[in-house]
Chains A and B, each alone.
Chain A
């Protein structure tokens, strides 16, 4: 284990180093024999605890033709266990098997139909009805939403989960006296997952896609932009999945995904709040110990080929214009990772960010303009993303011109010392402010551990940022912000009836 004093030396400008030293004294960590890692941070200010489970698998791991699967499993993780959420597991289990059998028969018939167009036309509707009946039968054994209900009635707040390209995360907060309940419920859903109401939940997910993507112009643009910018790597696909993929996901797919990716060594958990570390360890061993050790899944093998020229995507929409511009960038382990963060700070942080100053404040071209240092994930090479939102009466070309002017200056002239110092100070202060909330801290701890193998990366990141020079900024801007590796995507108001 590294000594924390090293970290202290690395952030000499921090207002009160003493506080951070105390902070490290509060953190303990351990790994169960099956590989599941826990990070615990004691904070006794209030009798509450935040729990954060980070699964190091996400939409990027969806099999081809089954996009949306990681997200679909995330939904299933709220369905309960063989003892929670059922009126009679033995009968429900049989009924669930019956659903799969009915679905298999239907799929087989559909496949035959494809080859023999003159087959019996009544057969498929009958099989569809049979499937529907089987689903309803299985559903009749369900005590709907009991799993989340137990959490909510036990005083759980902030109960949710999220599926990103790189990760799937589950989180909520409980009063400290209910800690054991979290251990029981969280271990149970990963020890004994059930796939009840899978096909109904598939409809819910399909609605989620309608809401977030199909009925939201920005969502539509983002999806097209992503698929245009990235040619081969799975980062090209939307995390919620393509509509047709979602509509054909099967229960067995989710189960296979779970078996492959939800292995203990691929999961890490942070617990922050009014806890005693020894008690956490005892309960962790009791509840998560029984999960069998399994080999870690392989990472994505596809490597995005170099981009050989600028790309463009247009999405027709009656909405007001928006543009995304992305440049290819390396992954989070690249030596220049911190330089990208600093560039993002220079360009789009607060009212001193260059894009705000230039496009919003001085030229009055944009309602908003900003950057995201890594999109859509950080584990694999992706994009450095910019967005431009023109003001009323201003056009995208006017905005682009000003934007490229800002980028050109970043490439030509080294950034001034004051701006660089400001970005570094803000990075440190932002970290301190994030440490303020139990749940925010829990999330940071798990993601640092999953991506860098050490929660201290939260702090050593500051060291990397501190080292970034004006020359680094100029060099990286020149190396990566090139026309050749650029993709732009925008909404346009096309022909309207």
Chain B
């Protein structure tokens, strides 16, 4: 025992006091623990009703409550690719859309008057319908529950509300960096075009109709496809009789539900970046596919992941958080599901400047797991945590009942958890090293960083792999394109040719090989009020460059139809995908080629209304042009641009002050409106046609 008297006390009395008192507290190592009583598993009664529905009942009389959940074999994995979101909306409107006899609003009132609830939901690989009631209202609430499950009405107004809410959710999905990381990482690992990795989009929601919901419901909601579990203050025989009577008239039969689609994904290793400028921290993930829960190596893999990154004592927590102070959140998890591989992932967040270092340290810690055995201590801690906390898997009847239900649903043995516990107890250090070597593959690691790369300090490429920037701008719904028929297409072509005539003649337009234009842009005060000079140069058919002088510095953008670059005061590089898409839109709408769209076989020119042309191409670009009936010249064009956050912006350009350049009529003033509000005024200072521009002049960086 140290002598407290020798300590130099500079900090304050507490240290000496603490040292003196230390002797009074026995070491935690000296504590003896009595054995836990043997687990008493509650008795769950199970029955199959004549209609095929399975029942699981567990009495619990502590509180005057009755609760239940029906598990339905369905899931959003069954969404049709063009209607992603169907299961989600069906699961919601099943309850909110009301029953044959009552609207959803009436149910809300009836249930909340009783402080009860009936809710439905369809997730990835199962659907649920649940209820909760004070004991004395059990019968009334069960009545509602049954009607919702068996006679839903899917009223249109609630379908509209649900679709509206989902669209609003989509528009907000890029606001939170953690949400972006989770979503994009899953999309990368499972594949964006598979049910495990795709997202609900405006377009897929828009296609979903009431008939789709009814079909989806009809396919999956039938008694033999449902397991109903209830727990609470009831007598099991009584409740069984009650439920049997209640559901006696529900006798629909359907073919067995097919298995879920398998996960099929070729590993796509690499470093991926999502640029988000309004953050001070980078949210990162690294990993690859995990396994299923019944994988023979799962217990060892879980122990491995626990030692690496679960809890305060884990290696990542100790290194990245405690020793380096790089992160508040850092963890590793071997993801496993009942029926398909989960994600093995390391995730955390760190200040922008530490991005590369934090990811590197995480990779090093991972590598250590693969190259040397964990210490006996680490193994013991990980095992002890599993063993000693085992009892918490059974500490409420609801947990025990829900777990049993899931095991039955996924066809796992009832005692799966006990087998797992046994397997964990048998895991050796050699096992941990073996599974880390065999199952963790640094060569196919996917790394994702969501953050502000201009603050990274070191570029992500320092991780030693090519960096691919992900475009997460939210795809706009398929625009309502006007009805096109042979007639309207012919009429559109005719009108466009009249515009060509009014602009100086098709021959003159077609003879244009290049255009140079200097313009001044004044942004409206609500948009920030900045002023800029811009020099645009275009060489037919598709090489474009803009040099602009802004108050914050010069920006140059170049694009040749395939690739391009950007140079800003912060530096430069390849055109990021989001911006490239923007520039492609600009190219599509370039004034001269646009007027000659009838000569471009990739473009459709349609008469969309009186004096309104709609021009579109096969890449999904489209623009509406309104022709001034007096001059025959374009008066305005309207189009949509994608935003990295929120819904697309509707942009309108109004053309005025036409003047003649080389015999061609060009607008000298362009008013730009965004979502109907003035955004900027552009004034053309001078313009030249066929000045003999060379492609190599345009591609040369400033």
Contacts and interface: CB of A to CB of B under 8 A. Distances in A.
Interface of A: 15-16, 19, 43, 45-48, 78, 81-84, 89-90, 93-94, 96-97, 100-101, 139, 144-146, 148-150, 152-157, 159, 173, 175-178, 180-181, 184-185, 187-188, 191-194, 197, 200-208, 210-211, 214-217, 251-252, 255-256, 258-259, 287, 290, 317-320, 349-352, 360-361, 364, 367, 390-393, 418, 421-422, 425-426, 428-430, 432-433, 435-438, 493-497
Contacts of A290: 21, 24
Interface string B306-329: 000001110001100111111111
Contact of B312 (A149, A154, A287): A149
B2 A90 contact: yes
A15 B112 contact: no
Interface residues of B, number: 104
A156 B278 CA distance: 38
B12 A252 contact: yes
| Chain A at the B interface: SS class | helix
Given A152-B381, A178-B33, A191 B21 contact: yes
Given A319-B175, A391-B168, A184 B62 contact: no
A181 B31 contact: yes
B531 interface: no
Contacts of A149: 311-313, 381
Given A175-B388, A211-B349, A191 B278 contact: no
Contact of A392 (B24, B116, B167): B167
Contact of A318 (B109, B167, B278): B278
Nearest to B28: A184
B392 A173 contact: yes
A48 B19 contact: no
B37 A47 contact: yes
B685 to A, nearest CB: 23
A259 B15 CA distance: 12
Interface string B21-65: 110111110010111110000000000000000000000001111
A364 B33 CA distance: 59
A459 to B, nearest CB: 14
Interface string B499-542: 00000000000000000000000010001111000000000000
Given A197-B322, A430-B115, 4 more contacts: A155-B384, A200-B325, A216-B176, A319-B278
A187 B25 contact: yes
Nearest to B9: A97
Contacts of B523: 495
Interface of B: 2, 6-12, 14-15, 18-19, 21-22, 24-28, 31, 33-37, 62-65, 96, 105, 108-109, 112-117, 132, 134-136, 161, 164-165, 167-172, 175-177, 233, 277-281, 283, 311-313, 317-318, 321-329, 349-351, 380-381, 384-385, 387-392, 394-397, 523, 527-530, 550, 552, 644-647
Nearest to A435: B63
A278 to B, nearest CB: 16
Given A153-B385, A351-B108, A45 B64 contact: no
Nearest to A188: B25
A422 B12 CA distance: 57
Contacts of B161: 360-361, 364
A153 B171 contact: no
A425 B646 CA distance: 40
A180 B28 CA distance: 9
A426 B527 contact: no
Contacts of A319: 172, 175, 278, 645-646
A185 B523 CA distance: 63
11 contacts: A19-B63, A97-B8, A156-B388, A192-B18, A214-B281, A215-B278, A216-B177, A319-B172, A418-B113, A426-B115, A435-B63
B524 to A, nearest CB: 10
Q: Which residue of A84, A175, A217 has the most chain B CB atoms within 10 A of its CB atom?
A: A175
A337 B441 CA distance: 58
Contact of B64 (A200, A426, A432): A432
A60 B281 CA distance: 27
A152 B96 CA distance: 43
Q: Which residue of A15, A252, A350, A494 has the most chain B CB atoms within 10 A of its CB atom?
A: A15
Contacts of A287: 25
A392 B649 CA distance: 12
Nearest to B279: A215
A187 B18 CA distance: 12
Q: Which residue of B2, B394, B644 has the most chain A CB atoms within 10 A of its CB atom?
A: B2
Given A173-B392, A252-B11, A361 B387 contact: no
A421 B113 contact: yes
A47 B281 contact: no
Given A83-B27, A148-B312, A48 B392 contact: yes
Q: Which residue of B96, B323, B325, B529 has the most chain A CB atoms within 10 A of its CB atom?
A: B325
A392 B176 contact: no
